[in-house]
Amino acid sequence: MLPFRVARTRLCVTPQSLLPRTYFSTKRRPSSSTLKKVAVGCAITVPALWYLIHARMVLDDAPYLQDPPTDHWDVEPSPYKDQVTSILSQGSYVAPVQNVPGVVRYDGAQVASNNPCEDYFIHGKFPSPWNDGNQWMAWGLFDGHGGGHTAELLKEKLLPFVRHSLNQVERSPDGRMVPEELIQHAIMKGFQNLDNSIIETALSTSQSERLLQEKVKRLTPAFSGSCALLSLYDPSAKTLHVACTGDSRAVLGSLGTDGKWEATPLSVDQTGFNEEEAARIHDEHPGENVVVQGRVLGFGTSRAFGDSQLKWPLDFQQEVYQRFYGPSWNGAIQTPPYVTAKPVVTSTKIDPESPSFLIMATDGLWDMLSSQQAVDLVGKWLEPDAPENRTDPEPTYEPFDFGPLWKGMEWKFVDGRTTAQDDNVAVHLVRNSLGGNHHEMLAGRLALSPPFSRHARDDVTVQVVFFHRNGHRNKYQSSD
């Protein structure tokens, strides 16, 4: 290649300089057509030469690989205390509520173990189904398994399906409150309609003329599965409706006359460990060994959205596996369906004169603490002194690894590790469930990345709703 200095000199040319000297003799001059051809050639050749030379020297974007500064490798430091708080708070939010009577505020937090996280959630207001000008509130958790595809779909579609079902309920002409039984039935119908749509869409999609990539996208929500926990608050009736499919859990904390917080379950975990659920499945499939060690044919929940392996006909399962790389066929499956998305719905009156709160969480939290322990933790968080002003002495622990958790040391929450240092009560619950004031246990669990993190923690999603201001810290009261 020519030196750059020479190349630049040759690029500074005119049409005349590219012609032989004889063309400029007085006896012979170039014709106009010849000059035009030369000019066009220059117009093409000069930029091309410039690009080949200049772009290669100036626009080269290939990175330089740096030599390591030492002859050994190291990793980034493990989470320190401020970094632990940052990790726990990364997916958190606080929402004061001004114009829904009875609701003061709600907090939320999410800490992932899977990548991407298989938990999804919703929260917010929507118009009353009765078109009375009031606003209802909704909070929802969707704990996916076998991937997050089903849970992601529920995030977008479950509340609209339930609202559509509620809108079909007719109020009495005298304007009386709609009976709770009708509301519960409508919520159940919304859940089941969505799951039927997921399963039936897959059946019709396989035989359609759609492109392969479109079929796969429409089939995927049926390949994986998800639990669903949806709470709806009607401020006019002062009623909280909770619908549960799976093993996420809702608990109501109420202040008793003795000044202690009482835990009232608003849902029941639907797994093979639930005797009523196990009996129901055995009655539906007599002679089959369906529930073993708390699992339904290897699945953790007895009710769920998706999970097509437990619902599709056997011949269709084999077809989907061969044509679309769907879930592999389980030889123990004989007479599907085994699970349902039909929720159990409870309706609870909220006393506006007494402080109470709702805790909703995926099983990643409940694996670590009981319902009463969670309520007690929120109660401690509500004590008059704010977290940032607390001066609890920091305990000293011996150097720690996970070995003792296999040898008698409690790996779940214990009261002695309780700490209160977070402004967000959902973050407070997650922190205490994973180690509390035992920093090395907490930081060690958070330092593990997927897939190994599943040995130490699950995806955790928590929402806490405060229904009454009395007994809550003044700084978090609404302004009305």
Q: How many CB atoms lie within 10 A of CB 285?
A: 17
Is 445 within 8 Å of 112 (Cβ atoms)?
no
Contacts of 89 (CB under 8 A, 6+ apart): 109, 422, 424, 427
Max avg pLDDT among 62-66, 87-91, 331-335: 87-91
Is 138 within 8 Å of 123 (Cβ atoms)?
yes
**pLDDT tens column, 324-333:** 888 876 778 8
Range of the domain at 431: 81-170+177-384+403-466
Q: How confident is the model at residue 16 (pLDDT cuts 50, 70, 90)?
A: very low
Q: How confident is the model at residue 205 (pLDDT cuts 50, 70, 90)?
A: confident
**pLDDT tens column, 254-271:** 999 898 999 999 999 999
pLDDT of residue 368 exceeding 60: yes
Q: How confident is the model at residue 475 (pLDDT cuts 50, 70, 90)?
A: very low
Alpha helices in 325-418 (DSSP H): 363-366, 371-381
The reported pLDDT for the residue numbered 75 is 58
Q: How confident is the model at residue 68 (pLDDT cuts 50, 70, 90)?
A: low
Specify if 16 maps to a domain: no
Specify if 38 maps to a domain: no
Pairwise pLDDT comparison (72 vs 382), residue with the higher score: 382
Specify if 44 maps to a domain: no
Specify if 264 maps to a domain: yes
Rounded Cα distance, 439 and 417, in Å: 10
Q: What CATH number does the domain containing 231 carry?
A: 3.60.40.10
CA 238, 102, 230, 170: dihedral to nearest 10 degrees? 40
The reported pLDDT for the residue numbered 32 is 60
Q: Which phi-psi region, left, alpha or beta, contains residue 408 (left: φ > 0; alpha: ψ -120 to 50)?
A: left
Rounded Cα distance, 113 and 215, in Å: 30
Q: How confident is the model at residue 62 (pLDDT cuts 50, 70, 90)?
A: confident
Among 16-20, 164-168, 207-211, 302-306, the least confident range: 16-20
What secondary structure does DSSP assign to 380-393, as a single string? HHTSSS-GGG--PP
Q: How confident is the model at residue 44 (pLDDT cuts 50, 70, 90)?
A: low
- Separation in Å, CA 121 to CA 18, 96, 163: 72, 18, 17
Specify if 302 maps to a domain: yes
Specify if 480 maps to a domain: no
Q: How many CB atoms lie within 10 A of CB 108?
A: 23
pTM for the complete prediction? Answer: 0.83
Pairwise pLDDT comparison (334 vs 22), residue with the higher score: 334
Q: How confident is the model at residue 409 (pLDDT cuts 50, 70, 90)?
A: confident
First CA to last CA across the chain, in angstroms?
Answer: 79
261 forms bridges with which residues in the sheet?
Answer: 255
Q: How many domains does the chain have?
A: 1
User: What six digits make up the tokens of 180?
Assistant: 């709770």
Residue 301 one-letter amino acid: T
The reported pLDDT for the residue numbered 30 is 56
**pLDDT tens column, 266-314:** 999 999 999 999 999 999 999 999 999 999 999 999 999 999 999 988 8
The reported pLDDT for the residue numbered 6 is 41
The reported pLDDT for the residue numbered 73 is 57
Specify if 75 maps to a domain: no
**pLDDT tens column, 98-147:** 989 999 999 999 999 999 999 999 999 999 999 888 999 999 999 999 99
The reported pLDDT for the residue numbered 152 is 97
Rounded Cα distance, 480 and 464, in Å: 21
